[in-house]
Structure 1
Amino acid sequence: MNLDSIRKNAFAMPVHNPAYPRPPYRFINREYFIISYETDCDALRAIVPEPLLPENNLVHYEFIRMPDSSGFGEYTESGQVIAVRDPQGRLGSYTHSMYLDDEGPIAGGRELWGFPKKLARPTLSVDGNDTLLGTLDYGTQRIATGTMGFKHVPIDIEAERKKLADTPNYLLKVIPHVDGSARVCELVRFYLRDVSVLGAWSGPAALELHPHALAPVADLPVKRVVGARHVIANLTLDIGEVAFDYLASTEVAATGNARSLINR
């Protein structure tokens, strides 16, 4: 490969046969099972990166089934999302943890946007005849179990569409240098586009989290489940944008003025 061809064709690793195609990615019949629960406020403040601020003491634990995703095929993921406020006062979502069972979206999600993805074994299915069941195993250990009454109460489809389409989503992206230091350390913002919700329901729900050294979902403990949603949607995961560069703004961030720089 000559210099020009490398510059023109380099996209992702491995360079001759990347683990994933170029974005954006379209998802058909994407199925969400989201359990919202109260947790410890101090624990939330310790993990939400400035210049974002936790909106409340809620965590949204998600099990997501992707039966048809362009470039990635079929896979399932599970993790924790936190409601935050950005410096402009907008309500957004910060993805704290994600566990999934497919190498392509793990590599693509981490390298492109900075999704905090790790390999594990999540599932989402109907258990028996009447229960929506989500599970997450890390290695041989069960670390999360969520249940919900299956399609008990229909909820507003348009309201769920607006949540998915209008909410800015934030990620903390880190890529190391060859010496092990951070070469990229950015707050990334992205949106979901072309969203259509096919169905949405609520119902009684329960969530159990177990401690694990390498999959510490229980570090945000469940104090009380406040609600649950089951949503099926078609959508496009759009490309992201850098909302804040921590390495370029080290001095400013240290003075406490980081919030004024986001979006510049």
Structure 2
Amino acid sequence: MSKYEYTILPEYSPLYPALPYHYEDYQKVSVYCRGDKEALQKFLPKEFKVTSDVFEVFVLTNIKIQGLDLYSEGGIVIPCQYKDMEGACVAFEYVDTDGALCAGREIWGYPKKLAEVQFEKDETSIKGVITRKGKKIIDVTFENDNSRIIEPPNLSPRLQVKRMPNPETYGTDTNFVIKNILQNVEVKKKVYGQATLYIEPSVDDPLNELGVKEILGAVYIEGAFTLTYGEIVENLNK
């Protein structure tokens, strides 16, 4: 069997390789915010129900990956429930390479878009900025402060809705609820802190409508994990 038979398109020169992907070294800033539940619900797939008014804004850069080209990303993660299953949905996600974009959308249904990602770190602070179509849709500054310990909400497993358009008519031909769990998770370093967050209004990426009321705290993590196949929880087209 050819190695290309595991991938989708193009068969002779695939955009991304077969799973798993080993994220051996990443750096991530997570900012935990209290928002408006009605606003958070609006940004979830209609099948999901928001379970907390505390959500995550993150910016992440990868230092070493086996499987994909290096990329950086950021986004919004909202705690939610599908029927009796609780987890969290990545409601917005931005990456800076086409391989990460297409693998995330085509395999698991992550709602990835291409954007510019800035991640700058020194001994006491980190600056993370996501820019798309000229708008700074996520602008985070993190400062070390181990007196600001925060207990994050439950954000695992990831629950996503993978929808693909039907090529013959308006609607979907793929419409799955997907559960995805990171494997071999390792936290190499964790630093608590405080953060500022600015979200520039954008028609194309209306993160400013999330209704941020309060920043509860922030965490910087250096770690590793393995990303592999998820599980189809339900076929919504049946």
TM (norm. structure 1) is: 0.81
Unaligned 5+ residue runs, structure 1?
Answer: 249-264
Whether 2:166 is the aligned partner of 1:177: answer yes
2:23 touches 2:66 (CA, 8 Å); kept in 1?
A: yes
Instruction: Write the mapping of 1:103-118 to structure 2, written as runs, cut at 5 A.
Output: 103-118=98-113
- Residue 132 (structure 2) aligned to one of 119, 134, 138: 138
CA distance change for structure 1 residues 230 and 154 in 2, over 3 Å: closer, same or farther?
Answer: farther
Find the aligned partners of 2:205 and 2:196 in 1 and give their Cα distance.
20
Q: How far, CA to CA, are the matches of 2:10 and 2:211 in structure 1?
A: 39
- After TM superposition, the structure 1 stretch with the greater mean CA deviation from structure 2, 40-49 or 100-109, is 40-49
State whether structure 2 residue 70 is matched by structure 1 residue 38.
no
Contact 2:20 2:67 in 1 (8 A): no
Q: CA contact under 8 A between 1:155 and 1:201: conserved in structure 2?
A: no
Whichever residue aligns with residue 116 of structure 1, its letter is: P
For 1:119 and 1:83, the matched residues in 2 are separated by: 24
Number of aligned positions between the proteins: 234
**Whole-Å Cα distance in 2 between the matches of residues 24 and 34 of structure 1?**
24
| 1:216 matches 2:206 | yes
Task: Measure the CA separation in 1 of the matches of 2:30 and 2:6.
Answer: 37
Could you list the per-position Cα deviations for residues 140-182 of structure 1 after superposition, in whole angstroms to 9, with x for gaps in the alignment? 22222111113x32999xx99xx78xx2111111111213421
**Alignment equivalent of 2:118, drawn from 103, 123, 139:** 123
Question: Match of 2:35, as an amino acid?
Answer: T
In the alignment, the residues of structure 2 paired with residue 58 and residue 70 of structure 1 have an alpha-carbon distance, to the nearest angstrom, of 33
Q: Is the 8 A contact 1:173 1:187 kept in 2?
A: yes
Query: Given that residues 67 and 73 in structure 1 are in contact (C-alpha distance below 8 angstroms), is that contact kept between their aligned partners in structure 2?
Result: no
Q: Which runs of 5+ in 2 are unaligned?
A: none
* Cα distance in 2 for residues equivalent to 1:168 and 1:154: 29
Could you tell me which residue of structure 1 aligns to residue 79 of structure 2? 83
Matched, 1:58 2:47: no
Root-mean-square deviation (CA), in Å? 2.4
2-structure distance, mates of 1:41, 1:73 = 36
Distance of aligned partners of 1:55 and 1:225 in 2 relative to their CA distance in 1, 3 Å threshold: same
The structure carrying a bigger helix percent of its residues is: 1
**AA in 2 matched with 1:153:** N
Shift of 1:72: 1.5
Highest CA radius of gyration, 1 or 2? 1
Secondary structure of 1:204's counterpart equals strand
SS in 2 for 1:109: helix
